[in-house]
Amino acid sequence: MIQIENLTKQYGSTTVVDRVSLCVERNSIAVIVGTSGSGKSTLLRMINRLVEPTSGRVLLDGADTRSEPAHLLRRRIGYAIQGHGLFPHRTVAENVATVPRLLGWPEDRIRARVSELLGIFQLDPALYAGAFPHQLSGGQQQRVGVARALAAEPGVLLMDEPFGALDPIIRAKAQEDLLAIQRRFGTTVVLVTHDMDEAFRLGHRVAVMSQGRVLQFDRPSVLLTQPADPFVARMTGISDRALRLLALTTAGEAAVPGSSAGPRVSASASLREVLSELLWSGATSATVLGEDGSARGQLDVAAILARGRP
């Protein structure tokens, strides 16, 4: 659990982060979203003390982060950034092994962990362990960056616009991977982005930041239906907030017993996707299929529309 208490950062007379307090539950993903210059990156970097706070404190599982030297603290916290920041003179395996080496893990444990991680990130160790970063594609470099951040099994992973440099298709894949990995390791993730769709897609809770302050920190559906501030409403998008709300629920969650002659949709599809499918096919209801391909129920337009209202 990460408790941020009254955290402030000032550079001279400018206040970049202004008395921010929030609490990130263990095993959850918190997304900090805001325009550029809102202080979101500074807030993130104060968690692992790449930026030292002017005042306030951060507690990691109850312990003040200032109770140990900053570089030792950072070895316990994963950190992934936009543009990956891989070390160009080190191979993929050496990059991933960075923190375990700093921690002095035995060589065979490091080797096992590196192969495990490369496997999880769909990078065949035989092909990629000895490759240099410049030999990889952008998506692969980004995956190595995240693998390096997770190498020493940190309880907390901080990510600063990690997918910012990726094209939309690879970005969607990287987001899915992150969700899968977060579920697998139970890592507590704090991610910074300026992309509201990304925030809603990944975040269990989303903090909206503006001018150094956190305006609201809550579940995506609450941000949409009960914005605490006009700026939050603007950020979350007034014109398409109903569609965004639909995107937060899956067909499986909304399905009711019964059957339909309409198109067949997967239970993991969002209601937004189901609605789009119905519009396209001209049908008024759809059959929801489970992962095994059997019918799990049906959804009609009225039921979908009802979920797009607060």
The answer to whether 75 contacts other proteins (rule: CB under 8 A) is yes
DSSP string, 84-149: ----TTS-HHHHHTHHHHHTT--HHHHHHHHHHHHHHTT--HHHHTT--GGGS-HHHHHHHHHHHH
Q: Are 280 and 273 in contact (CB under 8 A)?
A: no
Using CB under 8 A, which of the segments 5-13, 15-23, 68-76, 263-271 binds other proteins?
A: 68-76
By CB under 8 A, is residue 134 in contact with other proteins? Answer: yes
Q: How far is the CB of 47 from other proteins (least distance, A)?
A: 11
Among 9, 40, 84, 113, binds other proteins (CB under 8 A): 84
Q: Provide the 3-class DSSP secondary structure of residue 286.
A: strand
Out of 40, 58, 79, 182, point to the residue binding other proteins (CB under 8 A): 79
Check residue 148 for interaction with other proteins (CB under 8 A).
yes
DSSP label of 261: S
Q: What's the CA gap between 165 and 125, in Å, rounded? A: 24
Angle between helical axes of 107-120 and 138-150 (0-180°, round to 10): 140
**Using CB under 8 A, which of 39, 53, 133, 162 touches other proteins?**
133
CA distance 111 to 96: 10
Q: Which of 292, 282, 243, 288 is nearest to 269 (CA)?
A: 288
Stretch that binds other proteins, among 97-105, 123-131, 179-187, 249-257 (CB under 8 A): 97-105
Instruction: Give the range of 52-60, 126-134, 189-197, 224-232 binding other proteins by CB under 8 A.
Output: 126-134
The contact pattern for other proteins, residues 48-67, with x = CB under 8 A and - = no contact, is: x-x-----------------
For the CB of residue 99, give the shortest distance to other proteins in the complex, in Å. 5
Q: Which residues of the shown chain bind other proteins in the complex (CB under 8 A)?
A: 48, 50, 69, 71-76, 79, 81-89, 98-99, 102, 132-134, 145, 148-149
